[in-house]
Amino acid sequence: MDARDLFRRLSAGAKFDTNRFKNDAVKFQLAPKQPSTISLSNSTLNTDSTSAQKNHQQENGFDNNPCEENEGYPTEDNIVDPRAEIKALRRERRKKTKTPKEVAALKKEEISRKRKAHKIHVQGSDIPTPVETFEELAQQFSIKEELIKNIQTRGYEVPTPIQMQAIPLMLKKREILACAPTGSGKTAAFLVPIIHCLGAPQKKGFRAVIVSPTRELANQTHRECVKLTEGIGLRCHVIDNVGKATQKFGPKSSQRFDILITTPNRLVFLLSQEPPAISLKNVEWLIVDESDKLFEEGRQGFRDQLGAIYRACDSNQIRRAFFSATFAFDVQEWCKLNLDNVVMLTVGQKNSASEKVEQQLIFAGSEGGKLMAFRNLIVEGLNPPVLVFVQTKERAKELYTELVYDGINVDVIHAERSQLQRDNVVKSFRSGQIWVLICTELMGRGIDFKGVNLVVNYDFPPSAISYIHRIGRTGRAGRPGKAITFFTESDGVYLRKIATVMRNSGCEVPEYMLQMKKTSKSDAKKMAKKIPTRKSISTEPLPDKIKRKKRERIIANVRKSKQNGQQGPSAKRRKIMTSNVKNN
Ligand SMILES: Nc1ncnc2c1ncn2[C@@H]1O[C@H](COP(=O)(O)OP(=O)(O)OP(=O)(O)O)[C@@H](O)[C@H]1O
């Protein structure tokens, strides 16, 4: 055994850096001698480059393990460490076949990558993977072809983030509290799983109930539901008129419907009849849309109403889901307490405005300044449709009276207008006949007017939540939008909150607004409920105003008596009234 053999045996399994210990390597014939001169002739370069490459590879190979077989070196005496070989084999095998633990870890990683990419946050156990395409959804849950077709007909190519996670959760019959930005497709996120879960019509009466805060929103959800159930046979119903509904929902007639969409007031009224005018005993899904609005404390707290609805849905199969664009701690607490193994699902940052809306604050100085600022916008060129928010119906009427002669197609919607008028206004705005629609908080939530280009907060919103919903009427379904908010000195107390919302959604706001004094939570709550006093919008001279008001009162009274089915005033009285109106 010579020195080289001895070295090889002693160094079996150990690493030997041939670069660092080049001289020793050469001495023990572990590396070839370096050529003393480098020939630069072409032929030498070519042949030598391959051998140099080989040498390099050999060096590297040897570097890693001196016992590996290396071409060009003596191999017959190589001593192979069997343990190292087994280890290498195992390593190789492990690379090919993954243990169940590794598979689970990889899947987990993939799921969290998907959630992160779509800003989906979940809290709860055993949450299904988000689905990124409707095809994936159809395959995984065997969704009916008709339903997928209806989704495609609506023009929905891929699910929105809230749909990616909420639909699989609800298809797995999980109870959820979901929060996602305005215009992000929450309606389809609950309608698609409900329609799938109900399957075919069963003539068992209502099996799903959707509660919406306003009649307008209930009607809109009903329209979407009708479109998504086409060809499936399920029948959806929206309670339009309580009187009619009481007649309609005789024990037999209500059997025809599968899905009910309603405001809480109407449903509670029907339930409170003796005997109840509606049965919810077969309800499998109860959806509360705009849940934080419905939880706001009012004269008739929704909590009580929800309690009544909840008790009436007494099937042991009942599942509940709460949806909203804004998050309220109270709702979360209620859900944690009352729902079964609830999953909290949030898309994006909680209580933030849609990133698709470009937001701007305009200091208008005074109430008069606001009217001038709005007229300026008209002069600069408004891009209809435009939605203008004011704080009360009186102010809505005043602004309408001011703008009606400005040569723009303007109309107004508020709670004092009849249902028919409200429906007609909404229709005209949707069809483009009305360019500028003046409205109150009534239209702040949920309403989906396609393509609203601009939202103007003529009156400063009373809270950050109200601001988020109001400006969320534009920038929907991925389209861009713009929101302008007028403010005067008296709005200073609210400014900081709105500026913070703006900054959080990526808009530039002056630093001084963010540095303004913080309002306490209790003060903010009080402020949200209290309507600030503002100087009238009207520029009408007082005598004219008094006459107009008188005229309006008379017309309203006539309308009211007609609506109540009264015979109306006698012929003599009618004559006096009409002459009054004419004289005025
Ligand atoms: N997957 C989708 N792809 C494209 N558009 C969609 C998709 N899902 C829904 N939409 C459209 O997005 C718009 C907004 O949807 P939707 O009214 O359900 O929003 P939302 O999240 O309920 O908003 P808000 O909080 O204001 O009530 C609608 O016009 C709807 O048709």
Name the DSSP letter for residue 91: H
Q: How confident is the model at residue 277, as a pLDDT?
A: 87
Ligand 1 midpoint to CA 450 (Å): 10
Q: Evaluate if residue 581 carries a pLDDT over 60.
A: no
Does the C-beta of 168 come closer than 6 Å to ligand 1? Answer: no
The values of phi and psi at residue 226, to 5°, are -60, -40
Q: Tell which one of 154, 216, 217 to mutate to probe ligand 1, the residue whose CB is within 8 A of the most ligand atoms.
A: 154
Distance CA(142)–CA(168), nearest Å, equals 12
Classify 41 as helix, strand or coil.
coil
Ligand 1 atom index nearest CA of 163: 1
Enumerate residues 6+ apart whose C-beta is below 8 A from 203: 255, 256
Which whole number is the average pLDDT over 185-209? Answer: 95
User: Do 267 and 237 touch, CB atoms closer than 8 A?
Assistant: no
Q: How far is the CA of 446 from the centre of ligand 1 (A)?
A: 9
162 phi, psi to nearest 5 deg? -65, -35
Q: Rounded distance, CA 326 to CA 350, Å?
A: 7
Average pLDDT over residues 120-128: 95
φ, ψ for residue 455, nearest 5 deg: -115, 130
As a whole number of angstroms, the distance between CA 260 and CA 6 comes to 89
Give CA–CA dist 451/430, Å, rounded: 9
Distance CA 178, CA 324 (A): 6
- Pick the more confident residue, 73 or 97: 97
pLDDT score of 146 more than 50: yes
Instruction: Identify which has the larger pLDDT, 405 or 467.
Output: 467
- Give the pLDDT confidence score for residue 181 in this predicted structure: 94
pLDDT band at 104; cut points 50, 70, 90: confident
How high is the pLDDT of residue 435?
95
Instruction: Determine contact, residues 353/501, Cβ cutoff 8 Å.
Output: yes
160, 136 contact by CB (below 8 A): no
Band the pLDDT of 248: cuts 50, 70, 90. low
User: Per mean pLDDT, which range of 188-202, 234-248, 285-299 is the poorest?
Assistant: 234-248
Q: Do you know the residue count of the chain?
A: 584
| pLDDT tens digits, one per residue of 259-302 | 999 999 899 999 998 888 899 999 999 999 999 887 775 545 67
Instruction: Give me the pLDDT at residue 69, please.
Output: 41
Mean pLDDT over residues 318-341, rounded? 92
The average pLDDT across 237-253 equals 65
**76/100 Cα distance (integer angstroms):** 42
Band (510; pLDDT cuts 50, 70, 90): confident
């534009």: which residue's tokens? 474
**Ligand 1 contacts CB of residue 291 (under 6 A):** no
d(C-alpha 548, C-alpha 248), whole Å: 41
Identify the weakest region by mean pLDDT among 135-139, 175-179, 289-293: 289-293
For residue 242, give the amino acid letter. V
Of 8-17, 202-211, 487-496, the poorest mean pLDDT is in 8-17
Residue written as token pair 């908010």:
485
Between the two ends of the chain, the Cα-to-Cα distance in Å is: 128
- Give me the sign of the Cα torsion angle 234, 290, 276, 313: positive
349, amino acid identity: Q
* ipTM > 0.90, yes or no: yes
CA-wise closest residue to 153 among 90, 99, 41, 232: 232
The C-alpha atoms of residue 289 and residue 254 are separated, in whole angstroms, by 23
| pTM (predicted TM-score) | 0.76
**Mean pLDDT taken over the chain:** 83
The yes-or-no verdict on residue 68 having pLDDT over 50 is no
Least confident residue range of 80-89, 217-226, 330-339, 459-468: 80-89
214 ligand 1 Cβ < 6 A: no
Atom in ligand 1 nearest the alpha carbon of residue 448: 17
Residue 161 above 90 pLDDT? yes
Mean pLDDT of all residues in 154-179: 97
DSSP H or E run through 208? strand 208-211
Ligand 1 centre from 305 Cα, in Å?
Answer: 27
Separation in Å, CA 62 to CA 67, 168, 198: 8, 54, 68
Q: How far does residue 167's CA lie from ligand 1's centre (Å)?
A: 14
What type of residue is 271?
L
- In angstroms, the Cα distances linking 226 to 192, 231, 239 are 12, 10, 14
